[in-house]
Amino acid sequence: MLTAIATGAAGAAAQVEVWRWEIHATLATLTLLVNLWAFRIEYDCLRINLGVLDEVMREVTAYAARTGWPAMRMRWSRKHGSDRLRRSGSSWAYGTRSSGINWALG
């Protein structure tokens, strides 16, 4: 965020010819590189979180099977070679045909 603010300030300074335009261009390139670096880290965190969510849902489904609770549904869609979690309807909805809460992702 700080690189974007500095880039904006340098752009304003370059517009009124207080600073050279090269400073703004350099900071803009640096901002893009920092954002790409942050994007990679955020993507890795999301991938890890999806793995944790998968483990939790496996445990919840196993617990539901052991205790007799209605099974929870989870659908994963494989599209373009990556795991993608898609939602249809609402995430949490009270089931009309079964007791309990059905959690459907799909």
Instruction: State pLDDT tens for residues 41-83.
Output: 999 999 999 999 999 989 988 888 888 776 555 444 444 444 4
Token pair in block for residue 50: 């999806």
Residue 47 and residue 87 in one domain = no
Same domain membership, residue 60 and residue 25: yes
Q: What is the pLDDT of residue 73?
A: 54
Tell if the pTM clears 0.95, that is, is over it. no
Amino acid at 62: A
Q: Which domain holds residue 96?
A: 71-106
Which residues fall within 8 angstroms of residue 51, CB to CB, at 6 or more apart?
Answer: none
The CA distance from 30 to 46, in Å, is: 24
What's the structural domain count of the chain?
A: 2
- Is the domain of 87 the same as that of 59? no
In a shared domain, residues 55 and 36: yes
Do residues 52 and 8 share a domain? Answer: yes
Same-domain status, 61 and 21: yes
| The pair of three-digit structure tokens given for residue 93, joined into one six-digit string | 């909805």
Note whether 18 and 38 are same-domain residues: yes
Q: How far apart are CA 92 and CA 101, in angstroms?
A: 7
